[in-house]
Amino acid sequence: MRVRREEALRYLGAKGAPDAQVEALLDGAVEALNACAAPRYVALRVPVEVRGAEVSLQAFTANSSALAARLSGCSAAYLFAATLGAEVDRAMARLFKLDVARAFALQACAASALECFCDDSCAALAQECAREGLFLRPRFSPGYGSFSIVHQSDMLRALQADKRLGLSETDSHMLTPLKSVTAVIGLSAENTVCAVHKCAQCDNLTCEYRKEPKP
């Protein structure tokens, strides 16, 4: 799987250039990930209606100024879900009992691989939409900004993610398998790229994994 090593290092909390030991950890983690990951995604195109902070996505309605801003000018959107599969969770669980350093390295590489897989999947969707003269907006997930994580349930239900991806949620709306994501992706007739990184929309300003967009 494609992994951004600099991103994986950030998830690991590594500072500066990695030494040989860290490089070896990453190499082993990527190899383990390639052996167990089964990446899949689903996407459902729905009409969009924005009224103030209220956003109607056919399958559900959300009251979120952040989501409304992301979908301003969009007449449609994709409901999107992706996962690396349950085997990645099992591999991480086994490693946490045997070698914590390797487990954290696998976790970091899996997080980066999921982002890469989502980027590649969205690029494929963008190519399809380009034939209609439409452009994709950046992904925006429940739990960011004012887009409540409770809408995770609406997303999974609309996408039939349990049947199609084996994707479910806990009572606190966290996804299982862990290395999974849901998101709303706006479709617009105008090629107006939102430059705001998803972390900049999050209220947790003290998160150690926070990454601001480059100027």
* In contact, 60 and 154? CB cutoff 8 Å: yes
Largest CA distance in the chain: 54
Supply the pLDDT for residue 202: 47
116-134 per-position pLDDT tens digit: 999 999 999 999 999 999 9
Residue boundaries of the structural domains of the chain: 5-201
Beta strands per DSSP E along 52-156: 54-56, 61-63, 76-83, 135-140
Residue range 5-201, CATH number: 3.40.109.40
Residues of the chain short of pLDDT 50, as ranges, are 194-215
